Amino acid sequence: MGPENAPIRVIVATRNRGKLDEIRSSLAFEGWEFVTAEDLGLEAPEVEETGDSFTENALLKAFAYHELFGMPAIADDSGLVVDALGGEPGVHSARYAGAKATDARNNAKLLAALDGLAPEFRSARFQSTIVFVDDSGHAIAACGTCEGRMGTEPRGSGGFGYDPLFLPQVTPGRTMAELTLSDKNEISHRGAALRSLRDKLTVRD
C-alpha cells in the first residue's frame, strides 16, 4: 500500500522552518501532514547528536522524536564537507562556530578558514541523510549529496545555513541561496535524499 492510501501525521525533528518547508514540498503525499513540536504547542526536545556520521545522528533524532511523541517521525542530519579542511565542518556543521552559533557566525568562520585559497582548492559537498520511523518503529533511511565549491562571499537571500557560500556544480555562478525553493530541491543533497525516501515509502508494503 502506497503513502497516498495511508493518511498520517508525522512529527519532524527540527526547529528549522526551512528544512520543514523542503520536507513538506518533497513528500507531498495525499493525506500526510508534517508538523513540528512547535506546531503542536509542545516543547521540542534537545537530542544530543553523538553520532560519528550524518546517518547515525538522523537515526538518533528520528527515534527520539518517535518515542517521545508516540507518532511517526522524520529527521534529517546534513552538513557541509570541505575537502581543504579535512572534511570539516561535517557533522558539526550547525555548531561549527560554537554550540549556539548563528548561520552568519558559521559562515564567517568558514570564510576565515578558507581565506586566500584559490577556487580550484575550494571543492566541497553537502551531504544529507533522512530517516523516517513509522508508527511501529521501523526505520527507513535515504541519503543524498550535492557537489560544488565554496565561494568567497555570501550571496543570495534564500535557503539557510551555508547556502549563501555554496556554489553547486550544476548551477554555475549561482549559490544555493540564489535558487528558488523548487530549483534547490531539484539539485540539493536534501532534495536527493527526500526523493530517494519518497521512492522507498511509495513502494513499501
Structural domains of the chain, ranges and CATH numbers in brackets:
3-203 (3.90.950.10)
C-alpha 72, offset from chain centre: 18
CA distance 123 to 151: 10
**SS in 3 state form for 59-120?**
HHHHHHHHHHHCCCEEEEEEEEEEHHHCCCEHHHHHHCCCCCCCHHHHHHHHHHHCCCCCHH
pLDDT digits (tens, 9 = 90+) for 5-16: 657 899 999 988
pLDDT digits (tens, 9 = 90+) for 108-155: 999 999 999 999 999 999 999 999 999 999 999 999 999 999 999 999
Tell me which of 202 and 91 has the higher pLDDT.
Answer: 91
* Size of the chain in residues: 205
pLDDT digits (tens, 9 = 90+) for 47-76: 988 899 999 999 999 999 999 999 999 999
Q: What is the pLDDT of residue 89?
A: 97
Q: In whole angstroms, how far apart are CA 70 and each of 135, 137, 148, 189? A: 8, 10, 39, 29
Please provide residue 130's backbone torsions phi and psi, each rounded to the nearest 5 degrees: -110, 130
Query: Is the pLDDT reported for residue 174 higher than 50?
Result: yes
* Beta strand pairing call for 166-168 and 123-133: unpaired
Query: Is the pLDDT reported for residue 205 higher than 80?
Result: no
CA distance 120 to 101: 28
Those residues whose C-beta lies under 8 Å from the C-beta of residue 142, and which sit 6 or more positions away, are 129, 130, 193, 194, 196, 197, 200
Annotation marks residue 77 as catalytic: yes
Q: Is the peptide bond before 89 cis (omega within 30 degrees of 0)?
A: yes
Q: What is the pLDDT of residue 147?
A: 98
pTM attached to this predicted model: 0.85
Q: What is the pLDDT of residue 1?
A: 43
CA distance 171 to 173: 6
Q: What is the pLDDT of residue 185?
A: 84
Please provide residue 93's backbone torsions phi and psi, each rounded to the nearest 5 degrees: -55, -45
Query: Is the pLDDT reported for residue 167 higher than 50?
Result: yes
Nearest residue to 82 via CA among 93, 71, 73: 93
Give the angle subtended at the CA of 104 by the CAs of 157 and 144, to the nearest 5°: 70
Q: Determine the average pLDDT of the residues in 151-175.
A: 95
pLDDT band at 198 (very low <50, low <70, confident <90, very high): very high
**Mean pLDDT of all residues belonging to the chain:** 92
Catalytic residue, chosen from 21, 52, 77, 103, is 77
Q: What is the pLDDT of residue 8?
A: 87
